[in-house]
Structure formats: C-alpha cells, structure tokens
Amino acid sequence: MSTIDTAKRMAKALRASLATRDQNLPHSAALEIVAQQLGYKDWNTASAMLPPAPDPSAIRFETAIPILRMFDEAKAREFYLEFLGFTVEFEHRFEADLPLYMGIQRDGLKVHLSEHHGDASPGSTLFVPMVNIERLRDELAAKRYGYGRPDIVEQGWGKVLEVYDPFGNRIRFCQG
C-alpha cells in the first residue's frame, strides 16, 4: 500500500526522470500525476486519503502464532499434514531423543506444535477467521479421515467448521 511519503518520492522521481530529457515539470504537476496514477481524483484527495508512513519507533504487533500441545509425532503428522493439509515450516529438537517443536503453515495460517511439557495445555481452542469455508469442508470430507468428518454449522454470526486434533485441541474455522 502506498503512503503519502511514497507518493511524494514517486513525484520527485518523475520530475528527475523528465529533467534528464530536458523536460521540466513543476512539483505540483508531478504530484497531480502521481495522485491520478494511484487512482485519486487529485493530489488534495490523495494526500487526505493516503496513510502516513508508519512510525518506526511505534509499537506494532505482528500476527500471533498459537502453540498447541501434542503427544505423538506420528498422530500429529497424520492429522495436521495429511488431513488438514499443512506443510512443515521447521522442526527442532535439542537432541535426537528430546521432544519435538514443529512449525506448520497453510495458506497464511501458522501454528506451532510442541511436545514440550510447559509450552501449552491440551484442550485449547483456535479461532481461525477464513474465506471459502465450504471448499475446506469439501476437501476434508474427500479425505475420509477415520477420526472425524467435520461439517459446517450455521451460527447467527457466520459459518463454523470445527475439527478436533488427537490431543484434545479444537480448531474452529469461521466465515462471517
């Protein structure tokens, strides 16, 4: 997304490029052209609508990554990778015979799975807003997973598709 500072830099670059061709363009005209390129009627509208550049010293949160407890690596792989379609982002063990900590992801959703005792409690619930929930339901139904056949439940606020992992955790996929 463009910011007001980005738009001003674009106007400056336009003026510099034209100057190398002996074409002088007033800064105000360059701003008007950039505003139109960004889809605004004029510079006044663009400057009112474009967000300011983010403050690098401001507190800013990134996307949270939930950690779920697992007890059996084979069952976790069967459920999360084969059934739900996640891929492994990384795996970590301090030593070969110590607990696994694994990062998985699918289409923008990241989850960490841990065999470490203190990392998470079994029985957690993840609330996952999403789009195309029917496609997910159909994909899961086609896999004929022996431990669950989730379906969509219509709520007053949207559609919900819940799945339960082998460790008592629940993922609540929701579409408003």
- Cα 129 to the chain's mean position, in Å? 10
C-alpha 33: how far from chain center: 33
What domains, with CATH codes, occur in the chain? 4-49 (no CATH), 67-175 (3.10.180.10)
CB contact set of 88 (below 8 Å; sequence gap of 6+): 81, 102, 103, 104
Q: Which token pair is 28?
A: 């105000």
Nearest to 68 by CA among 172, 176, 174: 172
Please determine, for residue 77, whether its predicted confidence score (pLDDT) is greater than 70.
yes
Q: b/e for 146-158, b at 16 or more Cβ within 10 A?
A: eeeebebeeeeee
Token pair of 120 as six digits:
């998470």
Asked if the model's pLDDT at residue 101 lies above 90, the reply is: yes
Q: Is the pLDDT of residue 1 over 80?
A: no
User: Can you give the pLDDT at residue 98?
Assistant: 94
pLDDT (tens digit per residue) in 38-74? 889 999 998 888 888 888 888 888 889 999 999 999 9
pLDDT in tens, 157-174: 899 999 999 999 999 999
